Amino acid sequence: MIKIFKKYENSIYSFTAILLAFLVGSILIHLSGFSVIKAYSALFDGAFGNVFNLTQTLMNTIPLIFTGLAVAIGFKSGLFNIGGEGQMYLGAFATAIATIYLSFLPVYILIPLVLIIGGLAGSAWGFVPGYLKAKTGAHEVVTTIMMNYIGILITSYLLLKYFKEEGPIPQTALIPESARLPELVEYSRLTWAIFIAVFVIIIIDIFFKRTELGYKIQTVGENRSAAEYAGINSNKMMVLSMMISGFVAGLAGSTIVMGVLHRFITNFSPGYGFTGIAVAVLGKNKPWGVLFAAILFGALQTGGITMQLFAKIPMDLIVIIQGLVILFVAAPILIKKLLRK
Amino acid sequence: MQEILEVIFNINTFSAAIRISVPLVFAAIGGVFSERAGIINLGLEGMLLTGAFAGVLGSYLTGNPYIGILFAIMAGAFIGFIFALFTIKFEANHVVAGVGLNILMLGITTWLMQILWGSRGTSVNVTGLGEITIPILSSIPILGKLFGSHNILVYVMFIIVIFSWIILFKTPFGLRLRVVGENQEAADTLGIKLRKIQYTSLIFSGVLCGLGGAYLSLGQLNWFSMNMSAGRGYMALAANIFGGWNPLGAFGASYLFAYTDALQMRMQALNLNVPNEIIQMIPYILTILVLAGAMIRSRPPAGLGKHYKTNR
């Protein structure tokens, strides 16, 4: 019995943390004068109630897989990358613009190429905080947040100055048909991007489990001085991990442009970059853990809209649950104490 | 060029910067106390937001903005205590817990705003803090313009800056606090009441953020709006580092940030050929540069971010 408990210890803690978050959430719902059952059933129904809702949940899961992975990759080297939001904006913008100039290419070259361009743009945005951390020690949480603001402003500036489509909405023209990812279910906006996301999970999993570079990055994250002692250049590893992290966050933006919006629009994100933090923390920074956490938060995001529309309960409940999950998962001792009772 | 220089050296820019600096200064000194006690405090952002909300709530319920300040202080103290509980007692990773707290408080304040006032954007208008004019000071030319007429929290801020510096560097409590931040084990061996000092510092840190938040909602405006702290907590953390974990330095750094922000706003109004988005970036770029520059020459408390189990 104890053996089984030990094996699944982490999962049990995470599961308890989620339950606890929903429990605290239900107290808040009740105190605010709403029905807890109505709130949570609307949330569940909105996320999984029918095929369409399910496709919307998966559609919302895709960017969270990327941004969650991005945070997890940063954590592997001991860095907390909160810059996913800015890196995603850069990726989205670069992809949208690249499709305009590269539309003459055949699809099988165009699609991978513009994805890589989006990733590289995100990577450049991740490089700056990584480099500053390695060279000066500037705390990456502060610098990545500042880079978020700068990224959102700079894409908005470039859009308005050079690429804005005629009309009142600040957005680019539609990207060419050939650069759009095909839909899996008609009218759902759930596209092949889900396979790209799973493919990236597999790659990152192999990278950290099977490659020397991945191993070196993790060693730096676990014990920087030990890594240095073993001859690993920890500064280089930190910069690299921020660049890989930024690349993956950039893909979140690219796939949204290619699969969902079909153009770049200012302020398109409902905070996917920040939800990625909760996803990574809950997923324990493990690539497959990130997948499950992303589905949970994708479902909350989708269900939250139904809850607000039909049960008239503010969808900010899901932000509260996100915050609680992060706090509870970050404090395993609290959960241990509760479970022992 | 002439126009730009006029804005840069204009007394109104310096005076506006004082107003803008207030929430940053409060939160940055909150950061000083917390980090000197060994706790990395990224929760400053959420604490500021909580203070801003509680301030408006207090004024809304009683019609008296000074009761609003009291609400903000109590709410700040409470959140400071909760943060201490997680980072000290439950040994949560400080950085993760801080970010979790910020997301949680963003959710809770936006939620409560909708329950109470039915809007997701802004609250109803409440009574804000009035200006207090200091008789003789306000009639002196430059000083009068800078310090003569502000609301009470601006004066409180100046007192707090000096008061915290004295506590930290001139009292036995301050000495103990600094020892805790450097080396918890050594502090424990010396018989210092480690936990009591850490909890006190974090609660004080919350109180300061409460005051800073109240200034945002009741001093600068007279309502609360969603996410109204808008990254100031993170800037304050950078100001605390740039200021060398010292209240006077934190004040100087916050004022520098505030000054660039004031400049940025005035430059936008000038209709220069520089696009507004680029001008708006200046404070963020400055924060990054200042942080990178500061980290090269200063050193954080040695025990920052570490967990230590005491047997007492």
Report CB contact under 8 Å: A149, B86: no
Mean pLDDT across chain B, nearest whole number? 90
Report CB contact under 8 Å: B288, A147: yes
- Which residues in B180-213 are b (16+ Cβ under 10 Å) and which e? bbebbeebbeeebebbebbbbbbbbbbbbbbbbb
Between the two ends of chain B, the Cα-to-Cα distance in Å is 64
CA atoms of A126 and A146, how far apart (whole Å): 12
CA atoms of B24 and B220, how far apart (whole Å): 13
Tokens representing B267 are: 């430059």
Domain spans, chain A: 1-34+315-341, 50-312
Using CA atoms in the order B131, B136, B138, B139, what is the torsion angle rounded to 10 degrees? 140
Nearest chain A Cα to B110, which residue?
Answer: A316
Task: Provide Rg for chain B, Cα atoms.
Answer: 20
Could you say which residues from 117 to 146 on chain B have a Cβ atom under 8 Å away from some Cβ of chain A? 120
Q: How far is B295 from chain A (nearest CA, A)?
A: 6
CA atoms of A153 and A293, how far apart (whole Å): 30
Picking from B95, B108, B287, the nearest residue to A146 by CB comes out as: B287
Using CA atoms in the order A48, A50, A51, A55, what is the torsion angle rounded to 10 degrees? -40
Cα atoms in the 13 Å half-sphere on the side-chain side of B180: 30
Percent of chain B exceeding pLDDT 70 equals 98
Query: What is the pLDDT, as a whole number, of residue B312?
Result: 57
Could you say which residues from 28 to 57 on chain A have a Cβ atom under 8 Å away from some Cβ of chain B? 28, 32-33
**Are residues A87 and A246 in contact, defined by beta-carbon separation less than 8 angstroms?**
yes
Tokens representing A225 are: 């001085």
Series of mean pLDDT values for 10-residue runs along chain A (341 residues): 70 89 94 91 93 94 97 94 95 96 93 97 97 90 91 94 87 92 87 96 96 95 90 94 98 96 92 90 93 94 91 90 92 84 67
Interhelix angle B44-62/B65-84, nearest 10 degrees:
150
Look up tokens 């920087």; give the residue: A224
Is domain A50-312 in CATH 1.10.260, yes or no? no
Phi, psi of B151 (to 5 degrees): -80, 170
- Which residues in B157-176 are b (16+ Cβ under 10 Å) and which e? beebbeebbeebeeeeebeb
Query: What is the pLDDT, as a whole number, of residue B206?
Result: 97
Query: What is the pLDDT, as a whole number, of residue A130?
Result: 96
**Between B122 and B267, the higher pLDDT residue:** B122
Please provide the DSSP assignment of B181-214 as one string: HH-HHHHHHTT--HHHHHHHHHHHHHHHHHHHHH
DSSP single-letter state for residue A178: G
pLDDT in tens, B228-283: 998 899 889 889 988 889 999 999 999 988 998 898 888 887 777 778 888 888 88
Using CA atoms in the order B96, B97, B98, B103, what is the torsion angle rounded to 10 degrees? 90
Give the list of residues 6+ apart from residue B262 with CB closer than 8 angstroms, or none: B13, B14, B16, B17, B20
Per DSSP, helices labelled H in chain B are: 2-8, 11-36, 44-62, 65-84, 94-117, 141-147, 152-170, 172-182, 184-189, 194-214, 232-242, 247-269, 276-297
Tokens representing A139 are: 């705390």
Q: How far is B143 from chain A (nearest CA, A)?
A: 34
Which of the residue ranges A78-82, A337-341, B104-108, B161-165 would you say has the lowest mean pLDDT?
A337-341
Q: Does A274 touch chain B (CB under 8 A)?
A: yes
**Are residues B168 and B292 in contact, defined by beta-carbon separation less than 8 angstroms?**
no
Query: What is the pLDDT, as a whole number, of residue A12?
Result: 86
Which of the residue ranges B13-27, B61-75, B263-277 would you say has the lowest mean pLDDT?
B263-277
Element holding B133 (H helix, E strand): strand B131-133
Instruction: State pTM to two decimals.
Output: 0.90
Q: Does B111 touch chain A (CB under 8 A)?
A: yes
Nearest chain A Cα to B82, which residue?
Answer: A327
Report CB contact under 8 Å: B288, A149: no
Query: What is the pLDDT, as a whole number, of residue A2?
Result: 64
Q: Please report, as a single letter, which amino acid is at residue B1.
A: M
Report CB contact under 8 Å: B281, A150: yes
Tokens representing A217 are: 């990055």
Query: What is the pLDDT, as a whole number, of residue B297?
Result: 64
Query: What is the pLDDT, as a whole number, of residue A246?
Result: 98
Q: Which domains does chain B have, with CATH numbers?
A: 2-125+142-297 (1.10.3470)
Average confidence (pLDDT) over B47-72: 96
Instruction: Report in angstroms the alpha-carbon separations of B164 from B58, B204, B232.
Output: 26, 10, 20
Q: Does B101 touch chain A (CB under 8 A)?
A: yes
Picking from B89, B103, B114, the nearest residue to A274 by CB comes out as: B103
Q: Does B95 touch chain A (CB under 8 A)?
A: yes
CA atoms of B264 and B266, how far apart (whole Å): 6
**Are residues A65 and A201 in contact, defined by beta-carbon separation less than 8 angstroms?**
yes
CB neighbour class for A51 (10 Å; exposed up to 12, middle 13-18, buried from 19): exposed
